[in-house]
Structure 1
Amino acid sequence: MARRYPLFPRLLFVLDGTGPAGIENRVTALRAAARPLAAFLEDVPVLTAPLTDVLQHGPSAAVWRPVHNPDQRVPWHI
């Protein structure tokens, strides 16, 4: 018998290698790329976070930004 996830797992992007403006540009690009996938995003949460925030606050902290609402900060396990 195959085991399945009760829900799809989250898709997490950890962003690094650029400053705050670069992070914003990458989040904007991800949001634009995800726009045609609106139905997919209802089933699979796509979240982004700067590596500096993950390292400073921990991966379970509310440092993750949903691609569909990048002004919001949530824990990855929403």
Structure 2
Amino acid sequence: MEEWRRHYPLFPRVLFVLDGIGPAGITTRIHALHAAAADSALVGFLRNVPVVAASLADLRKYGPSEPVWRPIQAPDSTVAWSQSPHL
């Protein structure tokens, strides 16, 4: 077993913070991430590493601990960053 796995048995989440493209652009980018997640090369990775995205505006307005994060596997739902996005 690799040494780092002894200390970190679970992968950390990948958090995308999107800004500068407006609400429609945020939705478009999140759906593009969702489409990219269908790539067979990423399926195993995404099974082990939760990936979520949020707009900087939502993070500033509601805070990063609120359910403003959209899992790329289910981009029309929202979760808190600490929740498992494997819906």
Say whether the fold is shared (TM-score over 0.5): yes
CA RMSD of aligned residues (A): 1.4
1:68 aligns with 2:73: yes
Q: CA deviation at 1:33?
A: 1.6
Structure 2 stretches of 5 or more lacking a match?
none
Percent identity of the aligned residues? Answer: 56
- Number of aligned positions between the proteins: 78
CA distance in 2, matches of 1:71, 1:52: 18
> Mapping of 1:33-72 within 5 angstroms?
33-36=36-39, 37-72=42-77
Structure 1 stretches of 5 or more lacking a match?
none
Scaled by the length of structure 2, the TM-score of the pair is 0.82
Scaled by the length of structure 1, the TM-score of the pair is 0.90
Q: CA deviation at 1:73?
A: 0.6
